[in-house]
């Protein structure tokens, strides 16, 4: 490999020997095309015409007045397929095409990354197979239908806890056996090098746009940028625009589940410890021996016992703060934004909204300018949210 893929001591390439040549090939291709004019022209075209970029930085007037702060929402929820995931699947899908790969495999939890991969496969004419835990297949039948409608094939995973981490395991196993023909399109800033760097690169468009937009609207940088963190791709995308601006507070919000002090949580950075999972050294939720725990969050996208290695690094050097929001608080955020702004956020993004409210209410933060990355829209969460709120739909 050209780079060791380390962020401080985090990251790396903890994979079976069989995958090393594939990661080397991927790294070479990524380095070759990331600054390639033709590649970027094509990617920009699809980001604009297919996905709907740029997205607005929307001033949430009602919420701002209620909280006594200036709240801006980065509207990734307006993108095609309903979330920021498409930025990365377009980038990697195009890379797979340039590399001559004949097949794409992906993992998915709730289905958002699976859908974003499926539509890109359809767009670029590359067959897509999506690994999805059997539990998730049953919970998210509508998303399975959406993926298959776009021509992807959904493979239910029956091993382990039958959720996202097992889908990742099976996608890796598939890739180990098919590296010549297949690209494994990882959906977040996790996994072995070059994935964390590459996914951040394709998501950094969020940060670039947000920076330009806030400077245009406010004439200055925001005081804080708040984003939810599962694997960490939407957060890394928006943080990347402000990482060198030390005066901008960067806050990642994890899925606290029933609470960080309970066993039912997805707050890897708040509660976890250093360890190796899915190809990189980062923070993980695990037991004394290093057996990986099952994560829990009301939001499927934050329900993962690992986290991207660059987040681990940013936490340890103190550049970013990580907070946890419980299921109940997230649902309050979900209702609040829907009611005040007429914008229904994804349950993942609702965690960022809920923390922004907490942050805005702190006396020292009065009047501050806050950007929330609204990473996805809540359409996918209607049944779940209604059930949690005791409404029969």
Partner 1 sequence: MIVESYSEMFQRVNSKDEGAFIPFIVAGDPDFETSLEIVKTYVENGADALEIGFAFSDPVADGPTVQEADIRALNSGITTAKGFEFIRKIRKFTSIPIGLLVYYNLIYQMGIDEFYETAHECGVNAILAADLPPEEAQDAVDASRKYGVEQIFMVAQTTSNERLQKISKMCKGFLYVVAVMGVTGARKDLKLSTVELVERVKNHSNLPIVVGFGISKPEHVKNVIKSGSDGSIVASALLDIITENLKDKKMMLDKISIFCSDLKAATRNKYK
Assess contact for 253 and 325: CB atoms under 8 A.
yes
Assess contact for 98 and 65: CB atoms under 8 A.
no
Q: Which of 70, 74, 85, 368 is catalytic?
A: 85
For partner 1, give the closer residue by CB, 159 or 262: 159
| 54 near partner 1, rule: CB under 8 A | no
For partner 1, give the closer residue by CB, 39 or 172: 172
Among positions 54, 160, 217, 340, the unique one binding partner 1 when judged by CB under 8 A: 160
Nearest-approach distance from CB 172 to partner 1, in angstroms? 5
Assess contact for 255 and 314: CB atoms under 8 A.
no
Nearest-approach distance from CB 163 to partner 1, in angstroms? 12
For partner 1, give the closer residue by CB, 90 or 312: 312
Strands across the sheet containing 6-7 = 6-7, 10-11, 280-284, 273-277
| 91 near partner 1, rule: CB under 8 A | no
For partner 1, give the closer residue by CB, 24 or 388: 24
| 8 near partner 1, rule: CB under 8 A | no
| 28 near partner 1, rule: CB under 8 A | no
Among positions 15, 144, 347, 370, the unique one binding partner 1 when judged by CB under 8 A: 15
Task: State how far the Cα of 86 lies from the Cα of 76, in Å rounded to an integer.
Answer: 10
Nearest-approach distance from CB 303 to partner 1, in angstroms? 15
For partner 1, give the closer residue by CB, 18 or 382: 18
Among positions 69, 73, 83, 284, the unique one binding partner 1 when judged by CB under 8 A: 284
Which of these ranges, 47-55, 229-237, 270-278, 330-338, lies near partner 1 under the rule CB under 8 A?
270-278
Q: Max alpha carbon distance in the chain (Å)?
A: 57
Which two tokens mark 298? 């009301």
Is 293 catalytic? The answer is: no
| 43 near partner 1, rule: CB under 8 A | no
Exposure string over 158-180, b if 16+ CB within 10 A, otherwise e: eeebbbbbbbbbbbbebbeebbe
Assess contact for 310 and 189: CB atoms under 8 A.
yes
| 1 near partner 1, rule: CB under 8 A | yes
Which of these ranges, 41-49, 64-72, 168-176, 203-211, lies near partner 1 under the rule CB under 8 A?
168-176
| 132 near partner 1, rule: CB under 8 A | no
Q: Which of 27, 76, 107, 249 is catalytic?
A: 107
| 292 near partner 1, rule: CB under 8 A | yes
| 316 near partner 1, rule: CB under 8 A | no
| 169 near partner 1, rule: CB under 8 A | yes
Query: Which positions from 172 to 201 touch partner 1 by CB under 8 A, shown as an x/- string?
Result: xx--xxxx----------------------
The bridge status of strand 103-108 relative to strand 182-184 is parallel
Nearest-approach distance from CB 275 to partner 1, in angstroms? 5
Bridge partners (DSSP) of residue 131 are: 107, 155
If one counts every other C-beta atom within 10 angstroms of the C-beta of residue 276, the result is 15
| Contact partners, residue 208, CB within 8 Å, separation at least 6 | 240, 241
Which of these ranges, 9-17, 39-47, 261-269, 377-385, lies near partner 1 under the rule CB under 8 A?
9-17
| 347 near partner 1, rule: CB under 8 A | no
Which of these ranges, 106-114, 139-147, 276-284, 379-387, lies near partner 1 under the rule CB under 8 A?
276-284
| 167 near partner 1, rule: CB under 8 A | no
Is 375 catalytic? The answer is: yes
- The residues assigned a catalytic role are 85, 107, 375
The contact set with partner 1 (CB under 8 A) reads 1, 4, 12-18, 20-22, 159-160, 165-166, 169, 172-173, 176-179, 274-279, 284, 286, 288-292
């Amino acid at each position: 490999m050209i780079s060791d893929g380390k962020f401080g001591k985090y990251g790396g390439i903890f994979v079976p020997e069989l995958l090393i040549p594939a990661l080397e090939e991927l790294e070479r291709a990524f380095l070759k095309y990331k600054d390639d004019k033709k590649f970027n022209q094509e990617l920009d075209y699809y980001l604009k015409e297919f996905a709907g970029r740029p997205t607005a930085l929307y001033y949430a007037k009602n919420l701002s007045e209620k909280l006594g702060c200036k709240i801006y929402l980065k509207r990734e929820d307006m993108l095609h397929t309903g979330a920021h995931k498409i930025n990365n699947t377009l980038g990697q899908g195009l890379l797979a095409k340039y590399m001559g790969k004949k097949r794409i495999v992906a993992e998915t939890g709730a289905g958002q990354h699976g859908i974003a991969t499926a539509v890109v496969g359809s767009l670029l004419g590359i067959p897509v197979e999506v690994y999805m835990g059997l539990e998730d297949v049953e919970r998210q039948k509508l998303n399975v239908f959406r993926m298959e409608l776009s021509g992807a094939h959904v493979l239910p995973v029956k091993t382990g806890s039958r959720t996202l981490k097992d889908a990742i395991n099976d996608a890796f196993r598939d890739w180990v056996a098919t590296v010549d023909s297949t690209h494994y399109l990882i959906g977040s800033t996790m996994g072995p090098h070059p994935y964390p760097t590459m996914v951040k690169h394709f998501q950094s468009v969020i940060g670039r746009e947000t920076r330009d937009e806030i400077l245009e609207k406010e004439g200055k940088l925001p005081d804080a940028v708040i984003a939810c963190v599962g694997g960490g791709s939407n957060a890394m995308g928006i943080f990347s625009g402000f990482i060198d601006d030390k005066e901008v507070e960067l806050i990642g919000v994890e899925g606290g589940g029933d609470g960080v002090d309970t066993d039912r949580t997805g707050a890897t950075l708040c509660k976890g410890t250093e360890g190796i999972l899915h190809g990189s050294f980062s923070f993980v939720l695990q037991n004394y021996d290093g057996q990986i725990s099952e994560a829990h969050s009301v939001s499927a996208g934050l329900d993962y016992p690992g986290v991207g290695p660059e987040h681990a690094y940013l936490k340890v050097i103190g550049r970013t703060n990580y907070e946890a929001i419980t299921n109940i608080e997230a649902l309050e955020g979900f209702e609040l934004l829907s009611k005040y702004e007429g914008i229904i956020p994804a349950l993942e993004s609702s965690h960022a909204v809920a923390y922004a409210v907490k942050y805005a209410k702190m006396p020292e933060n009065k009047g501050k300018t806050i950007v929330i990355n609204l990473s996805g829209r809540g359409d996918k969460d209607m049944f779940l949210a209604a059930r949690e709120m005791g409404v029969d739909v």
